[in-house]
A and B are shown apart, each in its own frame.
Chain A
């Protein structure tokens, strides 16, 4: 009897072992549905399946849900006046020409001829004016603020219009012009409650032909697109919330690409010569050690500097991100961005950290105190990061224990009501900002300005520095590129010295896909492959 039991266990073990072991190349997988493979030019895929992690509403400017991938998908349906290229430089898109006066106040544009909406109506200067006016009048968290500096839009004729600003906006072409979608006046003119309006007629390269809430979207190429018909005829989007299920579906060929960036440890299973491959590149999202600057002893810049010196960020990139990331700059700005200051550098020096802590009188008062380091429980990479930081900090005499919380609870402690003027209740927390908060220089004011009621809307650590306040105010109205760079450089030096938070790393974007179906992805630096340029060429 025992023998039979033994065999039973053995069989079970073998089943599990074979299921756990890395998959060998599956036997001649059936070709993806409806794909006509054309080797040589290799770009004419008929149908593409993409997994997205959650429902994005009816995908119009008021119903889409997430910054990523929601905003990216929105911009496949709708167009913007300008479009960021691969290197995030704004290029004319709906317009052919533009002129601006020397103060950066008065802008003149000429639209492309022959642009139509998905329903066939022509897109005119009137639609541009209508859109910006509409966003100004109907509050939306992303658009309304972006168009607030627009004083007036004057329509000269069908194709020509000018925008008059109330004050110069340094990155006007990036935001709002490359960010805010243009909506059709003839459809939206009578809409008073946009949050419950579900129409999604745009002018973009794709139109939504089917939406099954919570399950699927079907997008079809806009054959009349003014820049030519997009490369992929149909994009079927499937909502798969679970990460493991997403990548299993990709492996067996049920989907061709996943919108979500992959965990570094999975790369080995998908990269290479098989049916799947990966595209990687730098990411402009950030991972930070957020510090509560209001709370003792972290209100002392010496203590914050000591924390920064104690953290081995290269080790974090190697161990947690397996090298798929860029080490953080203490000036916050990603090294691939034009306004990055190469003179600031993270210094890992535990001995100096100890000296700084002694100088600040930390050991006498807080030597026995245990601080809490908060992190989101649903993100294993962040939990691991927090654990490694705790080891780093404990080594220099700062006692830290890691607390993993669900994200809404964490938000409530770090950023209650998403309003920095409502206070905060934490010591340290792992945090991160999305790519737009890295790219748009105007957002720097939000991150660092001490006026929490008005300007410092993202200053969740209540960092205070008068020089930074002055520079942040100046940058938001400076249009001269030389002066801009000068301010950026100064800002980064001050930030590196006063440490509002520790910038740990910028995770790479890692996108797994099936090259047999479609292989013409364009990696927009810092922002990934899910953008218009992956389907349409720059004019």
Chain B
């Protein structure tokens, strides 16, 4: 058992190290330079000495392996560096952005999973009837729609035209709400991006649950259950769903890891202050410290989610447990 966990830990540690190397070298391999961010708008006027001075202040004039060692040293002390663009500690920026991303993508994941499971099961149960074909067409239609487009349509309709919902941001600027008013304000802003993100992500789990339910429905023990005269509801929820859920759990756990990376596109359309948008801006502007840190956070979260999935899966599927013992 100890060897098993030691092995796992080593495995995750290795993955982390490899991703650190990639996260560090990828931005530096991209063409383009952060010099404009560092030196200010009129960068063309800098003299050669001034250029060198700026680059050396950020250790960018040193060989890449040297820079990597400095980076690892800082990381070891929990220092994620300073953003070139905002001139603030990267950790502060990430802490500001993280809750917003978790709120949006986390609640979208939960919502779309619940809807996906319920409708997936129902669709399989009512296979070939209108509710099956209808919901499947609808979800596939939504899935194939570009999320930015759906978002823009929803903003145009419910934001700009009907004015039911705010059109940008996560809070009303300058409103200074406190207490429940602040919560209500955030929820009001959350509605449209959440709706968009939920709609475009339902299809994944829906299809998986539908197929695995169909498969389970064909199992002999279901026929036995039917033959025993169990009510259909009981068959579906006690016998079918519990087995059909297994592939769904895998998919859910995998998505959980990506929750922190946010959804750049939807955060852009709704001007939502999340991590995805931060990452995108950092890529465009070659803000190396922010790039490294955000990629690292995402990597760590994916690794943790995998780890948790490893832990939880045996609970959901006893067969894995027994196989593990053998």
Scoring A residues 452 to 472 as 1 if CB is less than 8 Å from chain B, else 0, what string do you get? 010001100000000000000
Cβ of B253 under 8 Å from chain A: no
Contacting pair A67 B41 (CB below 8 A): yes
Scoring A residues 393 to 426 as 1 if CB is less than 8 Å from chain B, else 0, what string do you get? 0000000000000111101110111111000000
**Distance in Å from the Cβ of A442 to the closest Cβ of chain B?**
11
Contacting pair A408 B133 (CB below 8 A): no
Cα of A400 to Cα of B145 in the assembled complex, Å: 34
Find A71's partner among B30, B41, B134 (CB 8 Å cutoff): B41
Cα of A216 to Cα of B141 in the assembled complex, Å: 38
Surface stretch bound by A, among B213-221, B230-238, B278-286, B297-305? B278-286
Contacting pair B271 A142 (CB below 8 A): no
Contacting pair A240 B30 (CB below 8 A): no
Q: Using CB atoms, name the residue of chain A closest to B162.
A: A26
Cβ of B103 under 8 Å from chain A: no
Contacting pair B30 A251 (CB below 8 A): no
Cα of A211 to Cα of B157 in the assembled complex, Å: 32
Cβ of A70 under 8 Å from chain B: yes
Given contacts A140-B40, A408-B33, contact A215 B130 (CB under 8 A): no
Residues in chain A near residue B42, CB distance under 8 A: 67, 141-142, 145
Cβ of A196 under 8 Å from chain B: yes
Contacting pair B174 A218 (CB below 8 A): yes
Cβ of B163 under 8 Å from chain A: yes
Cα of A322 to Cα of B183 in the assembled complex, Å: 45
**Most chain A CB neighbours (cut-off 10 Å) among B39, B44, B93, B133:** B44
Contacting pair A409 B32 (CB below 8 A): yes
Residues in chain B near residue A296, CB distance under 8 A: none
Contacting pair B167 A245 (CB below 8 A): yes
Find A26's partner among B31, B40, B161 (CB 8 Å cutoff): B161
Given contacts A55-B86, A248-B159, A419-B51, contact A142 B273 (CB under 8 A): no
Contacting pair B168 A249 (CB below 8 A): yes
Given contacts A8-B134, A213-B88, A238-B173, contact A418 B31 (CB under 8 A): no
Surface stretch bound by B, among A13-21, A324-332, A335-343? A13-21
Contacting pair B133 A5 (CB below 8 A): yes
Scoring A residues 138 to 150 as 1 if CB is less than 8 Å from chain B, else 0, what string do you get? 0111101100000
Q: Using CB atoms, name the residue of chain B closest to A66.
A: B41
Contacting pair A139 B53 (CB below 8 A): yes
Contacting pair B86 A141 (CB below 8 A): no
Cα of A139 to Cα of B40 in the assembled complex, Å: 11
**Which chain A residues in 23-67 approach chain B with CB under 8 Å?**
23, 26, 49, 55, 57, 63, 65-67
Scoring A residues 165 to 195 as 1 if CB is less than 8 Å from chain B, else 0, what string do you get? 0000000000000000000000000000001
**Distance in Å from the Cβ of A174 to the closest Cβ of chain B?**
15
Cα of A80 to Cα of B280 in the assembled complex, Å: 36
Query: Interface size (B, Cβ < 8 Å)?
Result: 56
A-B Cβ contacts below 8 A, count: 164
**Distance in Å from the Cβ of A23 to the closest Cβ of chain B?**
6
Find A254's partner among B43, B51, B87, B166 (CB 8 Å cutoff): B166
Scoring B residues 129 to 144 as 1 if CB is less than 8 Å from chain A, else 0, what string do you get? 0100110011001000
Query: Interface size (A, Cβ < 8 Å)?
Result: 65
Residues in chain A near residue B141, CB distance under 8 A: 12
Given contacts A1-B133, A20-B153, A214-B273, contact A418 B46 (CB under 8 A): yes
Residues in chain A near residue B256, CB distance under 8 A: none
Given contacts A4-B134, A216-B174, A244-B269, contact A16 B87 (CB under 8 A): no
Find A458's partner among B44, B88, B174 (CB 8 Å cutoff): B44
Find A142's partner among B45, B48, B161 (CB 8 Å cutoff): B45
Residues in chain B near residue A196, CB distance under 8 A: 87
Contacting pair A5 B137 (CB below 8 A): yes
Given contacts A23-B161, A67-B41, A236-B174, contact A213 B268 (CB under 8 A): no
Residues in chain A near residue B40, CB distance under 8 A: 65, 140-142
Cα of A408 to Cα of B96 in the assembled complex, Å: 27
Cβ of B195 under 8 Å from chain A: no
Scoring B residues 159 to 198 as 1 if CB is less than 8 Å from chain A, else 0, what string do you get? 1110100111100011000000000000000000000000
Contacting pair A419 B45 (CB below 8 A): no
Cβ of B98 under 8 Å from chain A: no
Cα of A349 to Cα of B93 in the assembled complex, Å: 55
Residues in chain A near residue B284, CB distance under 8 A: 378, 406-408
Given contacts A214-B96, A236-B173, A457-B44, contact A241 B159 (CB under 8 A): no
Q: List 24 A-B contacts (CB under 8 A).
A: A1-B133, A4-B130, A4-B134, A19-B153, A19-B154, A20-B156, A65-B40, A66-B41, A141-B45, A144-B50, A213-B86, A213-B88, A218-B174, A236-B174, A238-B173, A244-B269, A245-B270, A252-B163, A408-B32, A408-B285, A415-B44, A417-B51, A419-B48, A419-B51
Q: 3 tightest A-B contacts by CB?
A: A408-B32, A19-B157, A141-B42
Please name 20 further chain A to chain B contacts, defined as beta carbons within 8 Å, in addition to the given A26-B163, A418-B35, sorted by A numbering.
Answer: A8-B134, A15-B157, A18-B161, A26-B161, A57-B86, A57-B87, A70-B41, A141-B43, A142-B40, A213-B86, A216-B173, A218-B174, A238-B173, A241-B281, A245-B269, A252-B159, A252-B163, A407-B284, A408-B31, A412-B31
